[in-house]
Structures are given as structure tokens and as C-alpha cells.
A and B are shown apart, each in its own frame.
Chain A
Amino acid sequence: MNQEKCFRSPGRIIRKKWRYLTLQQKLTALFLLTAVIILAVNLYMFMLINEMTGKVEEVYVSNVGLNELSGALDRVQDSMEEYLNTKSSDAMEDYYRSEQAYRELMDRLNTRTTDNQILLTEKNIRGLSESYLKLAAEAIQAKRGRNVEKYGKLYEEADRLYEEIHTFIYSLNNVQFKDNSRNYQMLLASLRYMEFIGIGVLLLVLLGNISLIVISTKSVTRPLHQLAEAAGKVADGNFEIGQLPVQCMDEVGIVTNTFNQMVENIRNYIEQLRQTMERENQLKERELMMHSHLKDAQLKYLQAQINPHFLFNTLNAGAQLAMMEEAERTGRFLENVAEFFRYNVRKNDKDAALEEEIHLVDNYIYILNVRFSGEILYSKEIDESLLEVRVPSMILQPLVENSFNYGIRNIDRTGRIELSVYQKEDQICISIWDNGAGMEKERIEQVLSGCASEADSGGGSNGVGVKNVMERLKLYFHDEAALRIFSEGSDAGTEVLITIPAKDRQEV
């Protein structure tokens, strides 16, 4: 592990460093890198051109060198001839000077045996030159010693060798010139090609640089794109996005980190809000339940006060007494009252068959007719097949009670109440009609909206108002039941129509 740490590759180190650079630093580094590459390539091309120019200059250097050698040889020969002719000290001096110069040039010639013809010819020229200089020196020596015959012969030999050396130099010059001319042509061609190749290399470098810039800027802008995409989703209300990866610690990295944190915070906040709402709902529900229990308790309290069993038993005893005293009507009256109360006690919080409800209405009307000396003309029209339909208890009697109290109680004419039960398509209709005082539209709306119920429930009624009936119907039939009030205005009578779904007959 330690070794791995020690020998991390340079690529990895650069990548790591790159991660922690700011955007500005990254872009600067990128531009600098591409600029350096272009600069380096240009410098390289410049160097090559320079090199080639140098080579062009050098092409004929070898020829120039041979020409120099040839010239130096001429000077040696001339000065030797001059000395042999004049024996002047100037010529002698010239001879030594030119011989020295020639030797210096000779020293540049190759001395090794090679398989290169040019170098080998150089070696031969050098060998011949040594022989020539030796002959020349001997000739001069002979001249000094006034050995006419000898210096004449030596001069002849030297002169021939001089010519032959010239031939060698000339031949070598020719070979080199051919060679150099070929090189020169090649260099010229190279220079022409260099232009194309240079453009090609530059284009290639340009392409490489563009790729480098595209790749690098992509690595910079990709996190920005991801961020923008994620931000778009969040703006559309989708908070269920994962954490965006943070690749670099530049400005974009910091923004991405902050964005991640922000999304997380928003998500947490929404969760908290949801929990709070849930808690509030639970609280409300509990409050409602408590309210309901309170009502229930109140009712139970009232019922306990009445002690229905006692009242019921008492009324039964009264009925039996009336029978014994042969007061048949009183007996029947007491029986009806007893039944009325018994039903009230028994069915207060349960459902009942429609027949039972109708029977209760019968009892009630009977009691009223006894109380008010048969003022009410009560009729009913019942579909016998619907008698078993289950409905919440205590829904008809309060409505009939309302018809009596607000409808026909205070009218001068004979009051009529009609109860009809029938089926219309998939609805069961229960209608309570009276020919009483009737209702204005505003009043109907008030009653249906429940505003009037509070005020009206206090007097005369047994406490179960229209609103109560409506709510219980809705609860029982899951909002599929309806209670409507029809009246054509004052003194036009009123019809209360309950419709319940027929499909529930079986279920009920």
C-alpha cells in the first residue's frame, strides 16, 4: 500500500491536482497548454527550417575546400617554378609559405582506408601530395646545390605529379559536385515538401488542440449541465433526485455541493411539513370524536333522566287500567304512546326497517290526533315491497313532526299529511307532504344548509332536526342519499323528499 502511495503515476497526480483547481485556473492552464504546444511545434519547424538552410549553405563547402586545395597546390608549384627560375629569396619565402598552407589543407584530407570512394581519393591525393612536396623540396635543395641536372629532372617529375594531383582533385571535385548537386536538388525538393508537411503538421496539431480543448472544457461544463438538469427537475417539483456527483472542487463543485445540500434540506422540510399536517389532522379527528362523545354523553344523560323503561312500564300499566275500566280509546292511546316511547328508546342509535319507521309515524299521528282532536288528515301510500328497506332510525318521525309543527299547526283549514314510499328507477323515494304554511326559497336554503336548525330545534321538537336527518342519511348511505324540500311559497304546502339508493336494499 505504501509503495503504491509512493509510486503514484504522474497522470493520477495531475488528475488529483486538476480536481482542486478553480475554473479560472483550469481555463488558464488549458489555454496555456495549447499555446505551448503550438509554440513548441512552431519552434520545432523553425529549427528544422534553420537546419535545412544551414545544410543548403554547406552543400558546396566540400567543393570550395577542394578548390582551395587546388589553388594552394598551384601556389606551391608557381613558387617552386619561380624559385627554380630566379632563385630569389622572395620566391623561396613564397614557396615555404605556400607549402605550409598546402600542408594545412592536406591535413584536412582523409588518411584512413575506407570503402568510401571520396574519402579514399582524398587519401590518395594526400599520399600523392606528400610525394609531390618531397620532390619539390628535393628540387629546391638541388637548385640550392646548383645541381642543374638533378633539379631539372626532379622538377619534371614534380611537374608531372602536379598535373596528376590536379587530375585527382579535379576528378574528386567532379564526383563531389555530382553528389552535392544531388543533395542540393534533394534539399530544394525537401524545402518544397516542408511547406506542405509543415502545414499538415500544424493542422494536425490544431486538430489535436481542438480535441484537447473540447475534451477538457467538457469535463468542466459536464457538471454544470448535470446541475442545470437537476435544477430543472427540482423546479418541476421532483425532489426525488439522487445526490449529484462532485468531480472537482472548483466553483461548480462548490455549487453542486450546495445544491445537493439545498435539495436535501427542502426534502427534509417537506417531510416535516407533512408530519405536522398529519399530526394536526389527528388532533382535529380526536377533537371531533371528543365532541361526538360529548353529545353522546349528553343524550345518554337525557335518556337516563327520562328512564324510558319506567315511563314505558307506567304507560303500559295505564293502558291495562284503561282496558279494565273499559276505556278502550284511552287504552289504545296509552298503548300508542308507550310504543312511541319504546321505539324512541330502542332505536335511538340503530337503523330500522322502513316498516318500523312508518309504524312510528302512525303512532305519532295517532297521538297528535288524540291531542288535537283529529285535526290532521293523515294518509299514506306505501309500496309494500319496500317495507324491509333498512334506513337510519328516527328519520321519518322528525320530518312528520316538522310538517305538523311548522306546516299545518297554525292553519285554519284541515291539515293534511301524506306519506308515500315508492321506487323510481334505482332510487327509493320517501315523500312527506303537507298542505300547511309552506316555505319561501330562502327559508328552504337556510333549513338545508343547517342555519335554521339550531333555532328551531328548541321548541316543540323532540330535538332531532332536519340537519340531523340529512347528516345521518349521508353517513348511512355514503353521500348517496339526498333530502330535498319542495314548496311553492307561503301557504302552498311543503314536500320533503328523501331519496336513497335502491341498490343498497340488499346490502342493508
Chain B
Amino acid sequence: MTRRKKVLLLLCLAAFLACVFFFRQYLPAPGSSDEGAYEIYSRHYVMITGREDGDFWDRVYESALEEGKKRGAYVERFGGDLAVEYGRKELLKLAIQASVDGIIIPGDEEEETMALLEEAVEQGIPVVNVLQDSMGSARQCFVGNNSYNLGQDYGRQILGILGAEADGERMFVSEPVSVLVLVDEGRTDSSQNLVLLGIRETLENQLLNSSMVTVETRPVDNSRSFSSEESIRDIFLNPEKLPDILVCLSAVHTKCAYQAAVDYNKVGSVQMLGYYDSDAILEAVAKNILYSTTALDTEQMGRLCVEALDEYVETGYTNSYMAVDTRLIRAEEAERLVERE
């Protein structure tokens, strides 16, 4: 047999084997796509979040998941795939009954929640409150920002809108200014009150005639689906009662508010302070629809939650408060961030 023939024969054989291999690979194994490749973890943490601010919680969850994987723990978005939509408290109860190894949940100060937290801790399940705290509960740690400081930040932004940066000297306001703060009706923790306190105190301290600035709150109903959006639109439907400055304390409220401002052509006449740094919000800041936005470091938040749980599981102790950094984003930075993305 000549060399050429040998090579030809070998090529035929290789082609045949390749075909067979391809064929073999082509056959799918039922369930293999999901069940075939998975990692085993030593701890099972769950994160329970509300329906609101999906994008924000997604980021926090991603960060927590990543940090958990590094530490040999899997963080589950509890109740996310269920056919029935359960409330936060029901999910908390289910998580306790499912005997998970740790729970991350935004707190509130309702009695039922407190009792559930108590029950969880009794069963040896550590609980970390995230973003909102259940003050006085048995939870192991609270991971979030300081609401009073956040309020002060908003206050300084309002002063900026009014004419000058707060640099220690007190200012004078010639015309009456109305500030409307959108608060979540469903939230029972004290964080919103602390934000309001921060805003009010900052204005009082910095303004000679703080009585010219009225700070009011508008509860936004989010008990039903889409009700937040309807509540916020209602504000823009009544032009006489439209505030000069609108302060939003959640991502959803921010989005709804700037969308309504655009739709009702009120951009410029209402200055808005936003919350969170999603792409859409950053774009709105860059286009000056929003005066500024305050963003929490979601990556840090998720990471700290898992760190706190791990610390408690491993040592039995952890800090009861872990602070998350906030960042103020103005038009220039928002523009840069949008461009970068």
C-alpha cells in the first residue's frame, strides 16, 4: 500500500470516528442540562425580597450569590420560582420550616415579623436584615445604609437646587419652596422617618428662613400590583399641587416619577432627586431629567450579608450593623457611566 493510500485510509477512519463522536454527542440526555453539572455547597442561605425594586434586589442577590459561592455557601432567591406569589412573611416562615442555614431578608418592625425572626433564631437559623432593619428583633445583623445620613445627603441636594452648596454658611430663600418626599406606605420600619428627619434637620440648620421650605411626604400605595405607578402619576395630574422638588426613596418610585415628568412635560419645573443607579435612572440623570440620584453599593450590600451570616455560623458572633456605602451621582458622572456601559 502506498503512503498516499495509507493517509487516505487513515483520513476515512478519522472522519468516520468524528461522525460517530458527533453523533454520540448530539444525543441529549434528559435532565442532563440541568442535573448534570452542578456544584455542591456546605450551607444553604436564602434571600427573601419583596416584589418591589426587582432590579435593585437582583444586583444585591447576584453579589450575595457570588460571595456565597466563594465561601462554599449557596444563596437561594427563596420563593422566586413558585407558582404562587407569597408575601415576605410567609416566605420567611417557609424558609424556617424548610430548615435553611441562614436567611437574608429586609426587615420591618411588625410584630409577626419579629416573632418569626425570633422563631428562626430559636431554631438556630441566623437572620440578616438587609436595607431595612427590624429594630429590636432577634436578627443577628443589619446590613444597610444609615438612613439619617441619607436624609442629610438629600437635604444638601435640595440646598444645591435652591441656589448654593451647603458649605457651612447659612442661606436665605426668597420664595417659598415645597419639597415632596415619596414614602412607601407598606414600610413599617423607621428608616423612612430617619431620612425625613435628616432632610428636615439639614434644611433647618442651613437655612435662615427654613419656614419658607415645606417638606411634606406622600405615601405611595404598593399594596397592589402597579399601584405605585398610579399613585405617583396622580401627583402630576394636579399641576397646582405639584411640588418644586420631588424626593424619591426607592428605584421604582424614581422610575415612575421621571417617566411621569416626561409624559406630562414637567421636566425642569419639578426638580427630582432619585434613588438607585440602574441604566435608565443614570440616563435620566445624564439628561438632567433627574437632578441627582443616590445609589447604594449593591455589590457591597450582598457581600456583607453573606459575610455576616458566615461569620455568625462559624463563630457564633457577628456585628449587629454593617454599613453600606452610598454614592451621589450627578449629571457629569452619570454621563460618564452611561458612556462606559
Q: For the complex, is A101 an interface residue (Cβ under 8 Å from B)? A: no
Are A171 and B82 neighbours in the complex by a CB distance under 8 Å? Answer: yes
Residues 449-477 of chain A, each 1 if its beta carbon lies under 8 Å from chain B, else 0: 00000000000000000000000000000
Are A127 and B24 neighbours in the complex by a CB distance under 8 Å? Answer: no
CA distance A128 to B91 in the complex (A): 12
Residues on the A chain within 8 Å of B12, using CB: 204, 207-208, 211
- Interface hits, A119-157 → B, CB 8 Å: 119-121, 123-124, 127-128, 130-132
Q: For the complex, is A490 an interface residue (Cβ under 8 Å from B)? A: no
Are B9 and A215 neighbours in the complex by a CB distance under 8 Å? Answer: yes
B interface secondary structure, majority: mixed
Are A58 and B30 neighbours in the complex by a CB distance under 8 Å? Answer: yes
Q: For the complex, is A292 an interface residue (Cβ under 8 Å from B)? A: no
Q: For the complex, is A183 an interface residue (Cβ under 8 Å from B)? A: yes
Are A186 and B28 neighbours in the complex by a CB distance under 8 Å? Answer: yes
Are B13 and A114 neighbours in the complex by a CB distance under 8 Å? Answer: no
Q: Which of B16, B28, B74 contacts A115 (CB 8 A)?
A: B74
Q: Which of A120, A127, A219 contacts B74 (CB 8 A)?
A: A120
Q: A113-B43, A167-B83, A197-B26 are in contact. Are A118 and B94 (CB under 8 A)?
A: no
Q: Which of B8, B27, B82 contacts A190 (CB 8 A)?
A: B27
Closest chain A residue to B76 by CB distance? A120
Least CB distance, B36 to chain A, in whole angstroms: 9
Q: For the complex, is B314 an interface residue (Cβ under 8 Å from A)? A: no
Q: For the complex, is B214 an interface residue (Cβ under 8 Å from A)? A: no
CA distance A187 to B97 in the complex (A): 39
Chain B interface category by residue count = 35 or more
Least CB distance, B24 to chain A, in whole angstroms: 7
Residues on the B chain within 8 Å of A208, using CB: 12-13, 16
Residues on the B chain within 8 Å of A193, using CB: 26
In this complex, the member of B9, B84, B97 whose beta carbon has the largest number of chain A beta carbons within 10 angstroms is: B97
- Interface hits, A48-75 → B, CB 8 Å: 48, 51-52, 55, 58-59, 62
Kindly specify which of A89-97, A172-180, A318-326 makes contact with the partner chain. Answer: A172-180
In this complex, the member of B5, B19, B40, B83 whose beta carbon has the largest number of chain A beta carbons within 10 angstroms is: B83
Q: For the complex, is B81 an interface residue (Cβ under 8 Å from A)? A: yes
Q: A48-B23, A48-B24, A123-B44 are in contact. Are A180 and B74 (CB under 8 A)?
A: no
Least CB distance, A232 to chain B, in whole angstroms: 25
Are B38 and A115 neighbours in the complex by a CB distance under 8 Å? Answer: yes
Q: A115-B74, A124-B98 are in contact. Are A44 and B31 (CB under 8 A)?
A: no
Q: For the complex, is A489 an interface residue (Cβ under 8 Å from B)? A: no
Q: For the complex, is A112 an interface residue (Cβ under 8 Å from B)? A: yes
Q: For the complex, is B33 an interface residue (Cβ under 8 Å from A)? A: yes
Q: For the complex, is B42 an interface residue (Cβ under 8 Å from A)? A: yes
Residues on the A chain within 8 Å of B5, using CB: 215
Q: A48-B23, A59-B30, A190-B26 are in contact. Are A131 and B35 (CB under 8 A)?
A: no
CA distance A124 to B31 in the complex (A): 19
Q: For the complex, is B111 an interface residue (Cβ under 8 Å from A)? A: no
Are A183 and B99 neighbours in the complex by a CB distance under 8 Å? Answer: no
Closest chain A residue to B13 by CB distance? A208
Closest chain A residue to B24 by CB distance? A48
| Interface residue count on the A side (C-beta < 8 Å) | 54
Least CB distance, B239 to chain A, in whole angstroms: 46
Are A180 and B40 neighbours in the complex by a CB distance under 8 Å? Answer: no
Q: Which of A114, A131, A201, A211 contacts B40 (CB 8 A)?
A: A114
Residues on the B chain within 8 Å of A161, using CB: 97
Residues on the A chain within 8 Å of B13, using CB: 208
Residues on the A chain within 8 Å of B30, using CB: 55, 58-59, 180, 183-184, 187
Q: Which of B19, B29, B38, B100 contacts A116 (CB 8 A)?
A: B38
Are B23 and A197 neighbours in the complex by a CB distance under 8 Å? Answer: yes
Least CB distance, B41 to chain A, in whole angstroms: 4
Closest chain B residue to A51 by CB distance? B27
Q: For the complex, is B167 an interface residue (Cβ under 8 Å from A)? A: no
Residues 20-55 of chain B, each 1 if its beta carbon lies under 8 Å from chain A, else 0: 101110111111011100111111100000000000
Residues on the A chain within 8 Å of B31, using CB: 62, 179-180, 183
Q: A48-B24, A211-B8 are in contact. Are A115 and B34 (CB under 8 A)?
A: no
Are A174 and B83 neighbours in the complex by a CB distance under 8 Å? Answer: yes
CA distance A117 to B76 in the complex (A): 8
- Interface hits, B62-95 → A, CB 8 Å: 69, 73-74, 76, 81-84, 86, 90, 94
Least CB distance, A17 to chain B, in whole angstroms: 16
CA distance A58 to B30 in the complex (A): 8
Are A113 and B42 neighbours in the complex by a CB distance under 8 Å? Answer: yes
CA distance A197 to B26 in the complex (A): 10
Least CB distance, B311 to chain A, in whole angstroms: 19
Closest chain A residue to B69 by CB distance? A115
Residues on the A chain within 8 Å of B20, using CB: 44, 201
Residues on the B chain within 8 Å of A124, using CB: 76, 94, 98, 100
Are A117 and B8 neighbours in the complex by a CB distance under 8 Å? Answer: no
Residues on the B chain within 8 Å of A119, using CB: 35, 38
Residues 90-113 of chain A, each 1 if its beta carbon lies under 8 Å from chain B, else 0: 000000000000000000000011
Are B19 and A211 neighbours in the complex by a CB distance under 8 Å? Answer: no
Interfacial residues, chain A to chain B (CB-CB below 8 A): 44, 48, 51-52, 55, 58-59, 62, 112-121, 123-124, 127-128, 130-132, 161, 164, 167-168, 170-171, 174-175, 179-180, 182-184, 186-187, 190, 193-194, 197, 200-201, 204-205, 207-208, 211-212, 215, 219
Write 24 A-B pairs (CB below 8 A) sorted by A numbering: A55-B27, A62-B31, A113-B73, A114-B41, A116-B35, A124-B76, A128-B94, A128-B98, A131-B97, A164-B86, A164-B94, A167-B82, A167-B83, A171-B83, A179-B33, A180-B30, A182-B33, A190-B26, A190-B28, A200-B19, A201-B19, A204-B12, A208-B13, A219-B1
Closest 7 CB pairs of A and B: A127-B98, A116-B38, A131-B97, A113-B44, A183-B30, A127-B99, A113-B41
Beyond A113-B44, A116-B35, A117-B34, 20 extra complex contacts between A and B, CB < 8 Å: A113-B41, A115-B39, A117-B81, A119-B38, A120-B74, A124-B94, A127-B99, A167-B82, A168-B82, A179-B34, A183-B30, A190-B27, A190-B28, A197-B22, A201-B16, A204-B16, A208-B12, A208-B16, A211-B8, A215-B5
